[in-house]
């Protein structure tokens, strides 16, 4: 992998991740850009004991541009985008409209009640462009290219985890307009949080209590149970297993676990990274075949916090969730889910797993849902 670092016109970092045989990339950004906002702040909810990020400057971010005005496509002689080069394999750059910033100064808010703490929203938000092909999707990448994305995630996990104040690194992909995606180009994001997120705190706390009772790792035992049952396993390989969890919250939900417990993406071996690329592409193509359409989804990496007492309880895994409950219907979070956090699902996990197993022989659906 060839790694090339440069800066955009407003000082944001951009990094090209290319195949070793790729040509040199254009590094100069000729645009004139306004400074990036540093107004992000965090406010602590004392009732739920959770931090909420306030980033009002994001209201003005780019929203559903035309294909010929996509900011994630390569630059041309007549149109300059976020990527100065005329081509790229995988590229990462700091978000122009970040929820968190290493330079954040927001936080002084008059009139807040005494119980509500506030701090600058210090952290980092990056955009990961999976390919220069605007009409592609992760599911249509070649295995070698998908492996390059995995190596990119590993690189950024290590680099962002080393930044001062960063507690957790979260790579993810939002796909589809139904999910809220505003740019159709195939891409993901990485958030470097200054706190351990609520979902991770809950999962790792449960894992710690389970370990105290049993001496075993909770995630490892969940994986072993699913592999032993086989009722919800979609596909497995030497290094990975993809299954629909028995207590799925979403109409379509797939968890992808390495068969060997590791804490984070950088800990994966070369063989595990290669195997993941093959298996994950298979899973994504099955998801697109489910309703014969590009499925909207959120793909979220759960990896260990940077330096938390519960770090050793973690087990790296990927969760892919979709709100598409049928070919023409979406699941909305209504009273029970929104008000109480108690999920009600309209489909049985075993049925979803069976349909995804059966979808394995279907051809892939090309293109993002935007």
Is the distance from CB of 244 to CB of 347 less than 8 angstroms? no
Rounded distance between C-alpha atoms, residue 206 and residue 202, angstroms: 6
Cα–Cα separations (whole angstroms), residue 42 to 124, 164, 254: 14, 17, 31
Query: DSSP per residue over 12-43, as a string?
Result: -EEEEEE-TTPPPPP-------PPPP---EEE
Token pair belonging to 362 = 């279907």
Which residues partner with 298 through β-bridges?
174, 321
Residue with token string 């035992």: 221
Q: How many residues does the chain have?
A: 370
Which residues partner with 65 through β-bridges?
none
Query: DSSP per residue over 163-217, as a string?
Result: STT--EEEEEEEESGGGT----SSEEEEEEESS--HHHHHHHHHHHHHHHHHSS-
Cα–Cα separations (whole angstroms), residue 332 to 37, 88, 103, 248, 323: 33, 37, 36, 15, 7
Q: What is the DSSP letter of 344?
A: -
The stretches of the chain forming alpha helices (DSSP H) are 143-161, 198-214, 218-229, 270-290, 349-358
Q: Of these residues, 187, 255, 302, 317, which one is catalytic?
A: 187
Cα–Cα separations (whole angstroms), residue 1 to 155, 158, 333: 11, 16, 42
Q: What is the DSSP letter of 138?
A: G
Work out the angle between the directed axes of helices 143-161 and 270-290 (0-180°, nearest 10): 110
Cα 13 to the chain's mean position, in Å?
20
Helix (H, G, I), strand (E, B) or coil at 307: coil
Helix (H, G, I), strand (E, B) or coil at 53: strand
Instruction: Establish whether 187 is a catalytic residue.
Output: yes
- Residues with catalytic function: 187
């Amino acid at each position: 992998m060839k790694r090339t670092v440069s800066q955009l016109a407003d000082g944001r970092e951009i990094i090209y991740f290319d195949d070793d045989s790729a040509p040199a990339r254009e590094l100069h950004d000729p645009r004139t850009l306004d400074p990036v906002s540093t107004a992000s702040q965090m406010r602590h909810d004392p009732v739920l004991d959770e931090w909420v990020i306030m980033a009002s400057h994001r209201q003005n971010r780019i929203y559903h541009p035309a294909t010929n005005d996509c900011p994630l496509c390569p630059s041309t002689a007549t149109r300059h985008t976020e990527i100065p080069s005329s081509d790229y394999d995988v590229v990462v750059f700091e978000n122009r409209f970040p929820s968190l910033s290493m330079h954040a100064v927001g936080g002084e808010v008059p009139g807040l009640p005494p119980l509500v703490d506030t701090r600058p929203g210090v952290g980092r938000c990056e955009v990961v462009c999976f390919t220069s092909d605007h009409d592609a999707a992760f599911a249509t990448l070649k295995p070698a290219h998908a492996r390059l994305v995995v190596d990119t995630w590993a690189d950024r996990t290590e680099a962002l985890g080393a930044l001062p104040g960063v507690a957790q690194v979260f790579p993810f992909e939002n796909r589809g307009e139904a999910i809220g995606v505003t740019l159709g180009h195939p891409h993901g994001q990485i958030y470097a949080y200054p706190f351990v997120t609520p979902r991770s705190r809950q999962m790792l706390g449960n894992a710690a209590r389970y370990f105290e009772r049993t001496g075993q790792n909770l995630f490892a035992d969940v994986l072993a149970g699913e592999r032993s049952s086989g009722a919800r396993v979609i596909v497995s390989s030497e290094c990975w297993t993809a299954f629909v969890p028995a207590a799925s919250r979403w109409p379509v939900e797939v968890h992808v676990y390495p068969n060997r417990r590791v804490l984070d993406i950088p800990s994966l071996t070369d063989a595990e990274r290669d195997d993941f690329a093959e298996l994950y592409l298979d899973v994504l193509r099955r998801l697109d075949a489910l309703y014969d359409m590009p499925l909207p989804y959120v793909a979220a990496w759960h990896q260990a916090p940077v330096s938390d007492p519960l770090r050793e309880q973690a087990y790296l895994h990927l969760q892919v969730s979709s709100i598409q409950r049928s070919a023409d219907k979406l699941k909305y979070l209504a009273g029970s889910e929104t008000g109480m956090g108690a999920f009600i699902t309209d489909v049985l996990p075993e049925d979803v797993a069976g349909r995804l197993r059966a979808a394995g022989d279907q051809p892939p659906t090309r293109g993002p849902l935007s």
